Amino acid sequence: MKKAITVQEAVDLIPDGASVMFGGFLGVGSPERLFDALAARGAKRLTVIGNDTARPGVGVGKLIDAGCVARVIASHIGTNPTTQQKMISGEIEVELVPQGTLAERIRAGGSGLGGVLTPTGVGTTVAEGKRVLEIEGVEYLLELPIHAEFALLHAHEADYFGNLTYRLTAANFNPVMAFAADCVIVESDHIVPVGVIPPDAVRTPGVLVDHLVARAC
């Protein structure tokens, strides 16, 4: 059984300079309360890893706005002009990764694989500095695994074993990130008694979850 901790206790676990995966798709499925608390604390030099940087004032965009982020690894930043401006000015380093490749690199990081072979990006700027392997006449890029110190996830339901369910697009990155971080912290819409979530509805098993964040009063 896991005891739910406060938002402040959760963000106190995350030091400045940490690497942080975050679930969500344009803010949907992102842990908004954790982002609020990190921004309020004035976290510094974070490396954030996720599908996108949402929009100003939304999702991880709050950390971008607050100057908490030094590096972004994402599939796009097109919906957040603040990220774009800070990249151009050199305030933030941005690594753009094709969306499917990003998901597979995170999966590889959680599965202990040495990398992923993909034809995506061959012959483009994506391939710069990367190994290209030819297999049966087809060229592939070797994309290295992505692992993080922390994963900040948002679930629809959690029980006190840490079993999680998700809704809609929140299921895109949250489940795979639970495998690929040293410490997994979960913010959930509902925390329910053990047994309420049917076993076949569990998308992330509790063994992967380190901390549940208590619901707001």
Please name the residue that has the structure tokens 């964040």: 213
Other beta carbons within 10 angstroms of residue 49's beta carbon come to: 29
The model's pTM = 0.93
Contacts of 179 (CB under 8 A, 6+ apart): 106, 107, 109, 110, 111, 208
Q: What is the pLDDT, as a whole number, of residue 217? A: 53
Other beta carbons within 10 angstroms of residue 115's beta carbon come to: 17
Query: Distance between the two ends of the chain, CA-based, in angstroms?
Result: 21
The first and second tokens of residue 183, run together, are 């410490």
The residue among 192, 194, 177, 217 whose CA lies nearest residue 29 is: 177
pLDDT in tens, 156-209: 999 999 999 999 888 889 999 999 999 999 999 999 999 999 999 999 999 999
Q: Are 177 and 21 spatial neighbours (Cβ–Cβ below 8 Å)? A: yes
- In CATH terms, the superfamily for domain 7-112+145-213 is Glutaconate Coenzyme A-transferase (3.40.1080.10)
Cross-strand bridge partners of residue 71? 47, 93
The first and second tokens of residue 92, run together, are 């933030």
Q: What is the DSSP string of the chain?
A: ----B-HHHHHHTS-TT-EEEE--BTTBT--HHHHHHHHHHT--SEEEESSB--BTTBTTHHHHHTT-EEEEEESB-TT-HHHHHHHHHTSSEEEE--HHHHHHHHHHHHHT-S-EEE-TTTTSGGGTTS-EEEETTEEEEEEPP--EEEEEEEEEEEETT--EE--GGGGTTHHHHTTSEEEEEEEEEEEE-TTSS-GGG-SB-GGG--EEEPPP-
pLDDT in tens, 29-61: 899 999 999 999 999 999 999 999 999 999 999
pLDDT in tens, 74-121: 999 999 999 999 999 999 999 999 999 999 999 999 999 999 999 999
The residue among 55, 88, 85, 86 whose CA lies nearest residue 70 is: 86
The first and second tokens of residue 21, run together, are 């995966």
